């Protein structure tokens, strides 16, 4: 009997499900939108109940489209954004913000309400911070928990479970309260290399209750990604998902890390490739055999992505979102959006096609930006400066209002994303975590133009995986391990992922031009930090 795998990915705006065969080929996929509530201020919230309903609908549709017997599904894996789910007695949703709407029980990863708490935690300088690049981010969970305690004390006291979103999904599926080393190590300060939480950290920062409760609300059982949970799908989840009760469920992952699992196994050596997930934000994942400390880059985390290996995680708090914000500032954006919609395309995709029509030499596209420079840090700098207060800089704007100038701004923005990636690579090189190639995933990674600009900007080859949806494939890998199709994660990664298109840096005059532009990028970035 043929066996199949399901990967579920919950991103910032949607829940997706992909159904794969035993060789990693995707046979069907489905998607459901999820609501994002913004404000007041830096608050961004979601509903865990709506997310679960969206997951179930997407899985049912993917299975239906593929036309398979649900009993043939050998395993299912979940990934999700590193968002905080807050549940009370019996799994009841609790309002995490001033809306007082209990349905809004998720503080989204990009929510920056806890900047003050993060800064206070950093000022205390606890030794666990060495394992998050030296500074904790307001995107991580302990600053958000401290915010809840200080601003929503009744909700904090009533909460029975604080979940990272991926762990919430596996709990809903199985009833198993186990947390993944990926989620709690990367976002909650769990010390996976020592198999423990550090109670002194929680006491120092003002979350002593969690230590006194033996961490019952944030996870007493921590397992590696892909570990089979509970007895597989419980009866209720199986019915809601349209799958067989007992279908194996693997411990989950953060969405970007699932993209890493779906890509860095290409070639069989995870340590030689950096996974670069280019979505709303961007994430970089670098695996090493021994721990490497990189200032401003999160980690090293043990067994957070590839079991038995150490992980350094960087990225940009806004990537695709930064490009969207940048384009929205241009006078021609409205006209271009209408033209793009007529062709059924997003604005970024439409601009990319116009640039591709300019000729086969994609490297020369950088010349369109001329003296236009963009530091696209609209939502701060995640790495390597770990500065949530950083803001974007645009230099060289004139009075032009036409589509050509919009194209130029788009190119400059993509270059800025590439130079931010180059900074992370150089910081890792200096610390001893050098990689040979970048393996890109996410929607932008499907663009030959984007891959060329990134290769030229960083001076590293950029590979695209053969998989159309590497993040979904990474989630399916978790299900494959849980279902016993492969003996371990590395074998599953190697067996299910393959290399696709490769892009080499142009070098020569184009390389020199990017070097000059990168120097300007760093100077503008430094000046902006000095001014604020």
Q: What is the pLDDT of residues 446-472, one digit of tens each?
A: 899 999 999 999 999 999 888 889 999
Q: What pLDDT sits at residue 358?
A: 65
Contacts of 172 (CB under 8 A, 6+ apart): 52, 237
Residue 182 has pLDDT above 90, yes or no: yes
Mean pLDDT confidence for 194-205: 98
Q: What is the pLDDT of residues 318-364, one digit of tens each?
A: 999 999 999 999 999 999 999 999 999 999 999 999 998 766 789 99
pLDDT-derived band at 233 (thresholds 50, 70, 90) equals: very high
Q: What pLDDT sits at residue 497?
A: 87
Mean pLDDT confidence for 264-269: 72
Q: Is 491 exposed, middle or buried (0-12, 13-18, 19+ CB in 10 A)?
A: middle
Q: What pLDDT sits at residue 467?
A: 86
Percentage of the chain modeled with pLDDT above 70: 99
CATH number at 320-437+504-531: 1.20.58.2240
- Report the range of poorest mean pLDDT among 71-85, 156-170, 349-363: 349-363
CATH 1.20.58.2240 residue ranges for the chain: 320-437+504-531
- 4-262+467-497 CATH fold: Nucleotidyltransferase; domain 5 (3.30.420)
Residue 405 has pLDDT above 90, yes or no: yes
Percentage of the chain modeled with pLDDT above 90: 89
Q: What pLDDT sits at residue 103?
A: 97
Q: What pLDDT sits at residue 499?
A: 81
pTM: 0.88
Mean pLDDT confidence for 512-527: 98
Q: Roughly how many angstroms between the first and final C-alpha of the chain, as a whole number?
A: 63
Mean pLDDT confidence for 196-212: 98
Q: What is the pLDDT of residues 489-504, one digit of tens each?
A: 999 998 998 888 789 9
pLDDT-derived band at 41 (thresholds 50, 70, 90) equals: very high
Residue 266 has pLDDT above 80, yes or no: no
d(CA 406, CA 324): 12
CATH 3.30.420.40 residue ranges for the chain: 4-262+467-497
Average pLDDT value over all residues in the chain: 95
Q: What pLDDT sits at residue 443?
A: 78
pLDDT-derived band at 445 (thresholds 50, 70, 90) equals: confident
Q: What pLDDT sits at residue 58?
A: 98
Residue 434 has pLDDT above 90, yes or no: yes
Q: What pLDDT sits at residue 466?
A: 87
d(CA 261, CA 279): 16
pLDDT-derived band at 268 (thresholds 50, 70, 90) equals: low
> Higher pLDDT residue, 79 or 361?
79
Q: What pLDDT sits at residue 386?
A: 87
Q: Is 105 exposed, middle or buried (0-12, 13-18, 19+ CB in 10 A)?
A: buried
- Report the range of poorest mean pLDDT among 153-157, 272-276, 305-309, 359-363: 359-363
d(CA 9, CA 473): 9
Q: What pLDDT sits at residue 92?
A: 98
Q: What pLDDT sits at residue 429?
A: 96
Q: What pLDDT sits at residue 471?
A: 92
Q: In sequence order, what are the beta bridge partners of 314?
A: 284
Q: What pLDDT sits at residue 113?
A: 97
d(CA 1, CA 18): 20
Q: What is the pLDDT of residues 85-107, one digit of tens each?
A: 999 999 999 999 999 999 999 99
pLDDT-derived band at 130 (thresholds 50, 70, 90) equals: very high
Q: What pLDDT sits at residue 267?
A: 61
Q: What pLDDT sits at residue 356?
A: 83
């Amino acid at each position: 009997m043929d066996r199949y795998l399901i990967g579920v990915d919950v991103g910032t705006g949607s829940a997706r499900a992909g159904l794969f065969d035993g060789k990693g080929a995707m046979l069907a996929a489905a998607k459901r939108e999820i609501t994002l509530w913004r404000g007041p201020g830096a608050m961004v919230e979601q509903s865990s109940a709506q997310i679960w309903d969206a997951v179930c609908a997407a899985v049912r549709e993917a299975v239906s489209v593929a036309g398979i017997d649900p009993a043939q599904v050998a395993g299912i894996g979940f990934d999700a954004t590193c968002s905080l789910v807050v549940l009370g007695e019996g799994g009841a949703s609790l309002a995490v913000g001033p809306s007082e709407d209990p349905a809004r029980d998720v503080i989204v990863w990009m929510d920056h309400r806890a900047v003050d708490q993060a800064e206070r935690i950093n000022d205390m300088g606890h030794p666990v911070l060495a394992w998050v690049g030296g500074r904790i981010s307001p995107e991580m969970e302990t600053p958000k928990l401290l915010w809840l305690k200080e601003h929503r004390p009744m909700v904090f006291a009533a909460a029975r479970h604080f979940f990272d979103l991926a762990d919430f999904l596996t709990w809903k599926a199985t009833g198993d309260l186990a947390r993944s080393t990926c989620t709690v190590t990367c976002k909650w300060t769990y010390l996976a290399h020592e198999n423990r939480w550090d109670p002194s950290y929680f006491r120092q920062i003002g979350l002593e209750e969690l230590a006194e409760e033996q961490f019952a609300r944030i996870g007493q059982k921590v397992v590696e990604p892909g570990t089979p949970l509970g007895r597989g799908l419980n009866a209720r989840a199986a019915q809601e998902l349209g799958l067989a009760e007992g279908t194996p469920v693997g411990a989950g992952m953060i969405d970007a890390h699932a993209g890493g699992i779906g890509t860095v196994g290409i070639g069989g050596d995870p340590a030689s490739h950096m996974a670069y997930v280019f979505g709303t934000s961007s994430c970089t994942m670098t695996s090493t055999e021994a721990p490497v400390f990189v200032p401003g880059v999160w980690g090293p985390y043990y067994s957070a992505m590839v079991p038995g290996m150490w992980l350094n995680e960087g990225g940009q708090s806004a990537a695709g979102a930064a490009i969207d914000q940048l384009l929205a500032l241009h006078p021609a954006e409205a006209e271009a959006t209408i033209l793009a919609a007529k062709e059924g395309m997003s604005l970024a995709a439409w601009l990319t096609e116009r640039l591709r029509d300019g000729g086969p030499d994609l490297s020369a596209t950088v010349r369109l930006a001329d003296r236009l420079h963009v530091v696209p840090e609209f939502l701060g700098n995640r790495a390597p400066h770990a500065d949530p207060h950083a803001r974007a800089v645009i230099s060289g704007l004139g009075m032009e209002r036409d589509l050509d100038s919009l194209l130029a701004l788009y190119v400059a923005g993509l270059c800025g994303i590439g130079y931010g990636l180059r900074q992370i690579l150089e910081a890792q090189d200096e610390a001893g975590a050098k990689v040979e190639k970048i393996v890109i995933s996410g929607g932008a990674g499907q663009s030959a133009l984007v891959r060329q600009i990134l290769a030229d900007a960083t001076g590293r080859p950029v590979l695209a995986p053969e998989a159309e949806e590497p993040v979904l494939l990474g989630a399916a890998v978790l299900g494959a391990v849980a279902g016993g199709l492969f003996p371990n994660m590395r074998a599953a990664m190697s067996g299910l992922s393959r290399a696709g298109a490769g892009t080499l840096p142009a070098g020569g005059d184009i390389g020199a031009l990017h070097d000059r532009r990168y120097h300007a990028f760093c100077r503008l970035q430094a000046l902006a930090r000095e001014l604020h």
